[in-house]
């Protein structure tokens, strides 16, 4: 499948450097999707029921942190960090400093923090990327630090 003029360039290890930054598109967190995700994966009252959510620590309906993390994956894999070979996770650290609400427009700003070339597999490395997800008010709603597998450009 060939890339179109509008598709992001796929990046290999040689194209990446510490300090390099990326900004994703946006993701709209919709109330129906918050409840649907929670019903299947995180069935807690503050994710499912408006009255229970109002009475909770969150003082209103809040998306599951795992839903927020899934939205982050969508943003990153959807072109936010256009790695050749795909976005292959090897683990991550995640924090949710404030709740994500229905109607929030989410975006991620990411920066490569570290590149660790493999000693045993010279065609690959592990990227450590610091990501901050913001809502429409520029308030951080998630800090995500994944380790991603990246590949060198194939020899032709």
Angle at 81 between CA 31 and CA 129, to 5 degrees: 95
Q: What's the average model confidence in pLDDT over 38-46? A: 98
Q: What is the pTM of this model?
A: 0.92
Phi, psi of 90 (to 5 degrees): -125, 15
Assess if residue 81 is contained within a domain.
yes
What tens digit of pLDDT does each residue of 81-129 get? 999 999 999 999 999 999 999 999 999 999 999 999 999 999 999 999 9
Residue 31 lies in a domain: yes
Counting the structural domains of the chain, the total is 1
* Euclidean distance between CA atoms 2 and 109, whole angstroms: 28
Residue 1 has pLDDT above 60, yes or no: no
Which residues constitute the domain of residue 71? Answer: 13-151
pLDDT score at 59: 97
The answer as to whether 3 is a domain residue is no
For the stretch 57-80, pLDDT in tens is 999 999 999 999 999 999 999 999
Three-state SS for the chain is CCCCCCCCCCECHHHCCCCCEEECCCEECCHHHHHHHHHHHCCCHHHHCHHHHHCCCCCCCCCCHHHHHHHHHHHHHHHHCCECCCCEEEEEEEECCCCCCCCCEEEEEEEEEEEEECCCCCCEEEEEEEEEEECCCCCEEEEEEEEEEEECCCCC
The answer to whether residue 42 sits within a structural domain is: yes
Q: Is residue 6 part of a domain?
A: no
CATH of the domain at 45: 3.10.129.10
For residue 67, being part of any structural domain is answered with yes
> Is residue 68 one of the residues assigned to a domain?
yes
pLDDT at residue 2 in the model: 34
Mean pLDDT of the chain: 94
The reply to whether 129 falls in a domain is yes
């Amino acid at each position: 499948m060939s890339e179109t003029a509008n598709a992001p360039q796929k990046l290999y290890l040689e194209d990446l450097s510490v300090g390099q930054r990326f900004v994703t598109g946006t993701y709209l967190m919709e109330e129906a999707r918050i409840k649907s995700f929670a019903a299947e994966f995180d069935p807690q009252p503050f994710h499912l029921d408006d009255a229970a959510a109002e009475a909770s620590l969150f003082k209103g309906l809040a998306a599951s942190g795992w839903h927020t993390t899934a939205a982050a994956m969508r943003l990153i894999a959807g072109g936010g960090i256009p790695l050749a070979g795909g976005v292959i996770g090897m683990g991550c650290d995640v924090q949710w400093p404030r709740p994500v609400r229905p109607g929030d427009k989410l975006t991620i700003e990411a920066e490569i923090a570290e590149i660790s070339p493999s000693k045993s597999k010279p065609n690959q490395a592990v990227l450590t990327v610091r990501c901050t997800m913001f809502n429409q008010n520029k308030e951080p709603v998630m800090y995500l630090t994944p380790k991603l597998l990246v590949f060198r450009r194939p020899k032709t």
